[in-house]
Amino acid sequence: MITPPLLVRWYATLATVSALLAAQAIVFPRWQAAPVPLPTKQLEAGLQKAKLLSPTNRPSSTTPWPAKRRYELATSAPVVFPLQGGFELTLMNGSVRQRLNFQTSTMGLAQPSLKLSKRRLIDTPVPTARGLAEDRPVFQTCLVRGPGLVRAFGVTSEQLAANADQLSSGIDSAVARVIGLEPNRTYACTLISLRGSKGEPPSDRLWRRVLDLVEPVLRSQG
């Protein structure tokens, strides 16, 4: 026979476990899902229409590295477009488990063509990291996509997480995640990297044109 004190302890234990599970569901992400592939054909069509694609070098039909899904970082296969003037545009979807790792330097850490040295930050036209990758000048930023987000670019964890937090804010969203109607908080963005030839950095004008072109295409993914 279950006595009242035992029942009280049982309900207290159940309430404690439920509260811990709820906190975990709200605060900590699960193992991240594999990022969706990028809309390669739409991006290529947009670049072609804007006459930014190289007239001599065509985009490769094979990716330089495959999609990866590890404990901390998951990335899609990249798409790489050779642009006029010897520039190279690389896009890659990525997600991380921990808020502190939600930054462009984490997304590109494993790839020499994306890993920046002599890195510095600028804010125009969007938050951008400038540096060198394989001795070639590079501009980088990351776009967080989602309902209600406008120009949600960032480089640092503070910038990108602030955008991601807008997608998971409010008590209704928290309750929906606990009961399974919404996924756990996710830290995902699309890395955009524009690399020049040696000694010739991308111009601010070219960087702005690329961002204005790819942003609506990426947002069409949902």
Domain spans in the chain, listed from the N-terminal domain onward: 1-30, 31-219
* Segments in 80-156 forming alpha helices (H): 104-107
Cα 48–88–77 angle (5° rounding)? 90
User: What tens-digit pLDDT sequence spans the chain (222 residues)?
Assistant: 556 665 556 555 655 545 444 444 444 555 566 788 899 999 999 999 999 999 888 888 888 999 998 888 999 999 999 999 999 999 999 999 889 999 999 999 989 999 999 999 999 889 999 999 999 999 999 999 988 788 899 999 999 999 988 876 544 444 444 444 444 568 999 999 999 988 888 999 999 999 999 999 998 876
